[in-house]
Each structure stands twice: as C-alpha cells, then as structure tokens.
C-alpha cells in the first residue's frame, strides 16, 4: 500500500506547529515564574553534589527533609543508584554548612558514609553552559556542510544546500520539542542531557539522510511529467518501513533501560526516547515535505 505523504503536508506542519508552540510556551512560562526557561542542573548553575550510603533503611523524601532542616530549600534533586547510595544535588554549600547537614542527617536517619562531596562554582557552571551551546552550534554547522557535500551530485535542478537546510529545520524541530517536554515536566537539564541532544541530532539526521538519498536516486529516474512531490512521495514510501523498524528496534532497549536501569541515567534515556520518536516523525513528515514545497515553489516561479 502506498501512502500520499506530500498531499497532507499542511496536516503534518500543523501538528508540528502545535507541538512547537506548546514547547515554547512551556519554556516561556517557566521563565516568567522562575527566571529560567529550563531547570538547569548544578553542571550549569554551580552547586554541590553529595553521595550518601546509609547503614540502615531510608528513602529520598526522608533524606531531603533531613538536609533541608539545616539548609532550607537547598536540594534540587536526589537520585537513588544501583549501588545502594543516594546522590544529592543541592545549592552550593560551605564546609560549615556541610557539617551542619551531616549532623542533621545522622540525627534524623542514622549512621552513613559520605562517599563523595563535590562543589562546582557558578563561573565553572557558566563555562560549561557556554561550551555546551558552542558544541551544539558546531554540530549544526557541520551537519549542514556535510549534507550539502554528500548531495553535491544531485541533479543540477535541485540545490544540495536545500537538502542541508531542510535537514537542519527538522533537527531544530526535534530539539525544540524535546526541550519543551523537559520544560513542561520540570526535568533537570545537565551534561547528560546535552549528550542526549547530540545523540538525537545524529540519529535524526541519519534517518533524514536515508530518505534524502532515496530522493536523489529517484530523481535520476524521474519521468518528464513527475513533479518533485511525486518523487518525494515515492521515496518516502520506499523508506517508510525501514525508518519505523529502525526506530522501534532502538526504542525497545531504551524503554527497558528506562524501566529497569539505574535512576542516575533515567533523564538521559528519557531524552533519547523523546528525541528518537520525534526525530522519526520529522524525517518522514517534515524534512521531505518541506524540501518538496521549496523545490516546487522555485519551479513555479
């Protein structure tokens, strides 16, 4: 069965527009209420990280309450690890504050071993944030250049730069929606999340290039009366099964890791799940229809 993807381009673009508006709205709402669009972790804002291992039984809420007795509203996140320890991310604390917290935790919960205590200053956090943004920007530029180079031998009536630009539009679509979902859920953004974004970018572009490569091959066989939209639609039908199977086979192990994996990597895995799902959608319903509209509008002029 063949599907006419290009025919319903307005529907796909409309769904994406709703998702993007929702995502931007979530970030704007967060900024209005907290002063920042996303919940940044201590990697980017600075702060302290502590890792506890307790002799007896406890839970995340009890540990948070015990810490905030001595340092109110300081804890941003507590994660239970598969090594039977608790990783606490909190506001930056001095040695004196740490000692007060130790006494409070010992009194409320019992004996423990402090496995780790690390403090990241705000200047280091800002430096990491700048480097993360630079790495994303470099990756985007490299993708545009690579796609344009890879499709340099496309028939002369189609500019290879159009392929690169459409791939980046689809990629930007994926990143904005992933950020929006994290903003809406209030999940923390840390260095792991940036790694997940870079991974999502690679997966999304890979999926888009597969479709674009088939379009390039089919352009060589294009009949005189075939429009670019017809060629794009044939190419999408030819690669649809492969794209879906690749995504599903990737999502299954990620879902297993999210359900049964360590808490410390769940945010990373969740970002990958969202990004791969959205990336598969954009490679089929955004990148190729956008390329088709652009090419057809140029031909009509």
What is this structure's pTM?
A: 0.80
Read out DSSP for 100-125? Answer: HHHHHHHHHT--EEEEEEEEE-HHHH
Q: What is the pLDDT of residue 124?
A: 61
d(CA 35, CA 29): 9
Q: What is the pLDDT of residue 21?
A: 96
Question: In the chain, which segments carry CATH 3.30.70.100?
Answer: 47-120
Q: What is the pLDDT of residue 299?
A: 58
Is 19 a residue whose pLDDT tops 90? yes
Average pLDDT over residues 28-56: 83
Query: CA angle at residue 98 from 92 to 99, to 5 degrees?
Result: 160
Q: Which residue has the higher pLDDT, 22 or 166?
A: 22
- Measured over the CA atoms of residue 186, residue 191, residue 193 and residue 197, the dihedral's sign is positive
Q: What is the pLDDT of residue 300?
A: 53
Q: What percent of the chain has pLDDT over 90?
A: 16
Banded pLDDT at 197 (limits 50, 70, 90): confident
Average pLDDT over residues 207-217: 85
Is 173 a residue whose pLDDT tops 80? yes
d(CA 88, CA 76): 8
d(CA 160, CA 164): 7
For the stretch 225-234, what's the b/e string if a residue is b when 16 or more beta carbons lie within 10 angstroms of its beta carbon?
A: eeebbbbbbb
The phi, psi pair for 82, rounded to 5°, reads: -75, 0
Question: In the chain, which segments carry CATH 1.20.1640.10?
Answer: 6-38+124-300
Domain 6-38+124-300 has CATH 1.20.1640.10: yes
What DSSP designation does 186 have? T
Q: Which residue has the higher pLDDT, 123 or 183?
A: 183
Q: What is the pLDDT of residue 120?
A: 74
Banded pLDDT at 278 (limits 50, 70, 90): very high
- Report which listed range, 11-20, 40-49, 210-219, 253-262, is most confident: 11-20
Banded pLDDT at 155 (limits 50, 70, 90): low
Domain 47-120 has CATH 3.30.70.100: yes
Banded pLDDT at 181 (limits 50, 70, 90): very high
User: Where do runs of H (alpha helix) occur along 160-227?
Assistant: 160-185, 191-219
């Amino acid at each position: 069965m063949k599907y006419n993807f290009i025919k319903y381009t307005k529907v796909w673009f409309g769904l994406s527009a709703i998702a993007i508006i929702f995502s931007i709205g979530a970030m704007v709402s967060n900024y209005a209420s907290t002063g920042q669009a996303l919940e940044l972790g201590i990697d980017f804002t600075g702060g302290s990280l502590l890792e506890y291992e307790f002799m007896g039984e406890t839970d995340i809420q009890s540990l948070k309450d015990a810490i905030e007795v001595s340092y109110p509203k300081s804890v941003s996140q507590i994660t239970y690890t598969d090594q039977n320890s608790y990783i606490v991310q909190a506001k930056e604390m001095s040695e004196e504050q740490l000692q007060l917290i130790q006494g409070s935790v010992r009194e409320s919960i019992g004996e423990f071993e402090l496995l780790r205590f690390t403090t990241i200053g705000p200047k280091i956090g800002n430096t990491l944030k700048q480097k993360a943004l630079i790495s994303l920007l470099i990756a985007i530029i490299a993708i545009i250049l690579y796609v344009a180079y890879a499709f340099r031998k496309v028939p002369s009536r189609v500019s290879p730069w159009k392929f690169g630009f459409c791939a980046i539009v689809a990629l930007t679509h994926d990143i904005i929606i992933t950020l929006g979902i994290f903003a809406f859920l209030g999940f923390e953004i840390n260095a792991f999340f940036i790694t997940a974004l870079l991974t999502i970018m690679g997966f999304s572009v890979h999926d888009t290039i597969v479709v674009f490569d088939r379009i390039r091959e089919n352009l060589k066989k294009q009949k005189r009366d075939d429009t670019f939209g017809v060629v794009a639609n044939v190419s999408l039908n030819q690669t649809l099964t492969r794209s879906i199977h690749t995504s599903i086979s990737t999502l299954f192990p990620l879902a297993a890791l999210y359900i049964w994996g360590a808490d410390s990597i769940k945010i990373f895995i969740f970002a990958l799940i969202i990004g791969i799902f959205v990336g598969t959608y954009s490679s089929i319903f955004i990148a190729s229809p956008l390329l088709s509209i652009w090419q057809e509008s140029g031909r009509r002029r």
